[in-house]
Amino acid sequence: MTRPALIAPSILAADFARLAEEVAAVERAGADFLHIDVMDGHFVPNLTIGPPIVAALRKVTKLPLDVHLMITNADAFIAEFAEAGADYLTVHVEACPHLHRTVQSIKERGVKAGVTLNPATSLSTIEEILPDVDLVLIMSVNPGFGGQTFITSCLQKTSSARAMIDRVGSRALLEVDGGVKIDNAAQVLAAGADVLVAGSAIFSSRDYAATIAAMRAAIQPSSTTPPRVSAHR
């Protein structure tokens, strides 16, 4: 069933020399979240940003900051990212040996907690923690770089995750990140996603508003207004 979805531009694909302008542009264009990928060069083969950039972005946007920690030792940085202004902090199942403790540490700081699964990681790894989280992120590419091709088998995984979330009565948002574009957005939504992360699909386009509008047109009736998410706590 087609339903409204939230669209989260990923700044990994933005022009970092004009980052404040890029963020303002996607906010004006109708984005619902701002997705921020933090990479450490260990858990994934790339380096990106840290808490100071998140703090700087907090000052220039009212959009909820969806901070995705692709890092080995997330526990050591939770307090810093929370203080920087993250609204959501999402950690990888594969990188957190004491996942319940990590999730509780995030929530104790007044931040919404998310868990992420790489494409080859089984959904069974989040079954026990699902009642405690606010967001489940399904990676539809292998994390580390933007602009990759969507892994189609992740559609079934998304559908299974939707069923799992609904079965336990969780209110967690289901987010999909990696290779999401206008031409596959409807499939991702139909599989059960609530939040679509799009990086190069938006930031590589000439008109962000037109691209976001086209994505919305692909995933929902024109008469439907997407749900808004409250900004920073």
Model confidence at 230: pLDDT above 50: no
Report long-range pairs for 77-83 (Cβ below 8 Å, ≥24 apart).
Answer: 77/50, 77/51, 78/102, 78/105, 78/106, 78/109, 78/111, 79/109, 80/50, 80/51, 81/38, 81/51, 81/54, 81/111, 82/106, 82/109, 82/110, 82/111, 83/51, 83/55
32, 37, 87, 134: which one is catalytic? 37
Q: For residue 185, name the pLDDT band (cuts at 50, 70, 90).
A: very high
Model confidence at 147: pLDDT above 80: no
Whether 166 is catalytic: no
User: Which of 118-132, 184-198, 204-218, 219-233 has the lowest average pLDDT?
Assistant: 219-233
pLDDT in tens, 160-174: 999 999 999 999 999
Whether 177 is catalytic: yes
- pLDDT computed for residue 4 by the predictor: 63
Report which of 38, 30, 39 is spatially closest to residue 6, judged by C-alpha positions.
30
- Mean pLDDT, to the nearest integer, of 86-100? 97
Model confidence at 2: pLDDT above 80: no
- Mean pLDDT, to the nearest integer, of 125-140? 96
32, 40, 87, 177: which one is catalytic? 177
The C-alpha atoms of residue 76 and residue 141 are separated, in whole angstroms, by: 26
Ordered strands of the 88-92 beta sheet = 6-9, 195-198, 173-177, 135-139, 112-117, 88-92, 65-70, 34-39
The pTM (predicted TM-score) of the whole model is 0.91
Higher pLDDT, 94 or 144: 94
CATH no. for 6-219: 3.20.20.70
Each domain of the chain, given as residue ranges in start order, spans 6-219
Q: For residue 226, name the pLDDT band (cuts at 50, 70, 90).
A: very low
Amino acid of residue 143: P
Phi and psi at residue 18, to the nearest 5°: -130, 40
Q: Does an H or E element contain 158, and which?
A: helix 154-167
pLDDT in tens, 39-89: 999 999 889 999 999 999 999 999 999 999 999 999 999 999 999 999 999
